[in-house]
Structure 1
Amino acid sequence: MTDVHSKATRSKNMRAIGTRDTAIEKRLAALLTQLGVEYRVQDASLPGRPDFVIESEHGVIFTHGCFWHRHDCYLFKVPATRTDFWLEKIGKNVVRDRRDIGLLHQQGWRVLVVWECALRGRLKLDDTALTERLEEWICSGGATAQIDTQGIHPLRVSPPGTA
């Protein structure tokens, strides 16, 4: 199947996709603020430039887009055009995510990944459920977890340099 857009239009559309202050980041920021959590955003000194850094809990939070980070949910669809290109690109993102989370874990940081599907879409968690999951992670002292449409779960991380 060929792309419905010209190469120039597709390029313009892809460049317009933001990397900070996205809708899902804004929603999560509002919930953290509502909880009274103090945080920094986009800390470039840490591996992976976490979206939120909660210094008091020595925790970091990533908001991952389900397409860009290949989440196994209804929001991820393998592209019909340039499939090999996209799968390679997304695969590199997944490898980088594992590496960065592993490095953060080695440095003693607690890591939470909040998936896009938990924040938007037809199966998203409501504010109460999402706030409860955030509080659960913050208060638990647990190292790594993820929040998706099913709630909060452990996140398995391979040490850097392993698959």
Structure 2
Amino acid sequence: MRRNMQAIRSRDTKPECLVRQLLHAQGLRYRVAARPLPALRRTADIVFRPTKVAVFIDGCYWHGCPEHYVPPKTNPGYWSGKVSGNVARDRDTDEQLRAAGWTVLRFWEHESPNECALTIFDTVSERRAGLLRGEIIHREE
């Protein structure tokens, strides 16, 4: 089982790379697989530090997508527990980042990369404009 888990990519997945490519083409620069908060031992897929925007592109299986998650047939207790733990950790991460003034954007791997990139671009642009005006923008998602 350990070998299986080591083979699963935690970064640079195809959906992630597509979104990053689109963002880069729009002129946005970002950190990849970075910790938004140094004290929080969790990484976001894409991080815009100056504007405090953290982006997560969640896999349907590992994060329990309501549309596509199918409970496993083999060893269901272990895997279902693992997925529910991931979901709980995701919610905790969102809460901690928002409490620190970050905007958290979460997308599913099946969502359109173009739509994801557009939402990210608009959010980062809006936060940048607020910073230029000297405002701190709080956005509830």
- Common topology (TM > 0.5): yes
Q: Distance in 2 between matches of 1:46 and 1:37?
A: 26
Q: 1:158 aligns to what?
A: none
Q: Count residues with an aligned counterpart.
A: 128
Supply the AA of the counterpart residue of 1:137: T
Supply the AA of the counterpart residue of 1:13: N
What is the aligned counterpart of 1:102 among 61, 76, 95? 95
Q: Is there any run of 5+ residues in structure 1 with no aligned partner, and where?
A: 1-9, 119-124, 145-153, 155-163
> 1:24-63 alignment to 2 at 5 Å?
24-44=15-35, 45=38, 47=40, 48-63=42-57
Cα shift at 1:140: 4.8
Q: 2:118 aligns to what?
A: 132
Q: 2:83 aligns to what?
A: 90
Once the two structures are superposed, residues 5-58 of structure 1 have per-residue CA deviations (whole angstroms, 9 ceiling, x without a partner) of: xxxxx5433321111222122111101101211111122326321111112321
CA contact (8 A) 1:73 1:117 kept: no
Q: 2:61 aligns to what?
A: 67
Q: Distance in 1 between matches of 2:90 and 2:17?
A: 21
CA contact (8 A) 2:15 2:109 kept: yes
CA contact (8 A) 1:101 1:111 kept: yes
Once the two structures are superposed, residues 109-143 of structure 1 have per-residue CA deviations (whole angstroms, 9 ceiling, x without a partner) of: 1110121111xxxxxx263x343333333345563
- Relative CO higher for 1 or 2, CA cutoff 8 Å, sep ≥ 6? 2
CA contact (8 A) 2:30 2:46 kept: yes
